[in-house]
Amino acid sequence: MPEIEFKIDTETGECQTEIKGVQGAACEKTAQQLKQLLGAPTIDQKTKEYFAKPEIKRQVKGK
């Protein structure tokens, strides 16, 4: 079940947003829409679930 979670720290005002249950391109699109609404995030990272997908193909580059 797709969920968008907004976690607000009532003292610092910091808002942490997490998209859950939305896969692939749809997730990226939802994230873009949220960024348009809320502004650029200070930290932007994929969730554990994103990395845990076994079918993900990674591009490997050396140093």
Partner 1 sequence: MNGEIVFILEPDAGRVTVESSRVASKLAKEIERDLGQGNALNCARPISAFESSFVGNSDETQAADSDNLHIHLFRLYHDSAVDGAGRRSVVQVAGCSIRCAGCYVPETHERTNGRLVSIDEIIAEIDEQRERHDGVTILGGEPFDQAASLEILVEKLKAKNYHVAVYSGYTLESLSARECESVNRILTKIDLLIDGAFDRNLTKNAGEYRGSSNQRLIRYPISKTKMTDEKTESTISDEKKRKQSEARFNEFIAECLDEGWSPTKCPHGCVVEPDGVCPHDFKSVALELGFI
The correct pick among 6, 24, 33, 41 for binding partner 1 (CB under 8 A) is 6
Q: Is 36 a binder of partner 1 (CB under 8 A)?
A: no
| Sign of the alpha-carbon torsion through 32, 37, 42, 43 | negative
Per-position b or e across 9-29, b if 16+ CB within 10 A of its CB: eeeeeeeebebeeeeeeebee
In the bound state with partner 1, the residue whose beta carbon lies nearer, of 1 and 25, is 1
Q: Is 44 a binder of partner 1 (CB under 8 A)?
A: no
Q: What residues make contact with partner 1 under the rule CB under 8 A?
A: 1-12, 20-21, 45, 48, 51-52, 54, 58-63
